[in-house]
Amino acid sequence: MTPSSFTFTLSDKQIEKLKAFLDQKGFEFSTIDHGLFRAKSKGVVVQVYKSGKVLVQGKEALEFSRNVIEPEILQQAAIGYEFLTHPEYFEAHVGIDECGKGDLFGPLVIAAVFVDPQSAKDFTEMGIKDSKRISSIRRLNQLASAIKKKTKYALLSLPPLRYNELYEKKFKNLNLLLAWAHAWVYKKLSLELNDAPRVLCDRFAQPWVLQQSFKRIGADQLLEQKTKAESDPAVAAASILARLTFVEELAKLSQVIGLPLPKGASSKAAQLAKDILLRCGKDTLRKVAKIHFKTIQQIFADCAL
């Protein structure tokens, strides 16, 4: 499966150079929300955002990235050279990521994925990347299916009712709950492997928080934490499994309650939580929402509950 989407981060000067190149080659320009411009040609769509993020998509995205972005704009090669630039990607290891911790509604999902040199290579060539950069549910399904066929994985999905119980009665802190869940999925997956491999997690709190949870399962010496760990193919694969599971579980909760539950923690989500509380009661809200969120606590205060 050839990747059809690539992301780069460019400086203002590099963006100007790219725009001039696209203009010279006859690309059609249009505007985009929260962005600088969108340029389209046969087989390639280039979207440039104010943050400097550049998204290249389409059937010719790989060729455009290799033949234009890298040599002309970045003046360095990266695509296809990950084995040289990041050899640690291709060592046997486990990557862990989560989804749902910032969402008012829905579960908290943590996924762990094992890669060996071959599956890491396959995932890189497939364009496996952080799930937050994939907006299409269809694409998430495709990638998740491929991941599950190629390697071993473990999932932990905590529906709101269970999540609230763990938070209130045991952890009383989101990072401590997350650390426990990360260690839990790693232990579950490692039982299916011949060895207990190195494990890579995103650094979401002070290092000791995750370290102590892995120490309890005897794996603290195998743990590595780093920011933006999603660049690693194992962590990226885990993010895709976690995101898809979250989306699927949120849809099921929406069917149960008879209302479309939104992602995130927007004012729209807060208003819906208030409506559910007033119409159905606190017990029903606990089944679909994370109660410890400040938004929910404020709603309880406003409603004198």
Output the CA torsion sign for 258, 143, 111, 205: negative
What residue type is assigned to position 192 of the chain? E
Spatial distance between the Cα atoms of 18 and 253, rounded to a whole number of angstroms: 45
The overall average pLDDT reported for the chain is 88
Tens of pLDDT, residues 130-141:
557 677 788 889
What pLDDT score was predicted for residue 39?
92
Q: How confident is the model at residue 1 (pLDDT cuts 50, 70, 90)?
A: very low
- Residue 2, pLDDT above cutoff 50: no
Tens of pLDDT, residues 112-129:
999 998 888 888 777 776
Decide if 130 contacts 230 (C-beta within 8 A).
Answer: yes
Decide if 262 contacts 238 (C-beta within 8 A).
Answer: no
Q: Which residues touch 236 (CB under 8 Å, ≥6 apart)?
A: 95, 97, 123, 128, 129, 130, 131, 230
What pLDDT score was predicted for residue 194?
78
- Residue 180, pLDDT above cutoff 90: yes
Least confident of 22-31, 105-114, 131-140: 131-140
Neighbours of 126 (CB within 10 A): 18
* Residue 133 main-chain phi, psi, to 5 deg: -95, 5
* Residue 176 main-chain phi, psi, to 5 deg: -65, -40
Decide if 158 contacts 166 (C-beta within 8 A).
Answer: yes
What pLDDT score was predicted for residue 76?
62
Q: What mean pLDDT comes out for the span 54-62?
A: 85
Whole-prediction pTM: 0.73
Q: How confident is the model at residue 147 (pLDDT cuts 50, 70, 90)?
A: very high
Q: Is 66 helix (H, G, I), strand (E, B) or coil?
A: helix
Spatial distance between the Cα atoms of 140 and 117, rounded to a whole number of angstroms: 23
Decide if 65 contacts 78 (C-beta within 8 A).
Answer: no
Q: What mean pLDDT comes out for the span 202-206?
A: 90
Burial of 85 (0-12, 13-18, 19+ CB in 10 A): exposed
Largest CA distance in the chain: 64
Bridge partners (DSSP) listed for residue 40 = 28, 45
- Residue 57, pLDDT above cutoff 80: yes
Spatial distance between the Cα atoms of 283 and 271, rounded to a whole number of angstroms: 17
Place of tokens 């400040």: 294
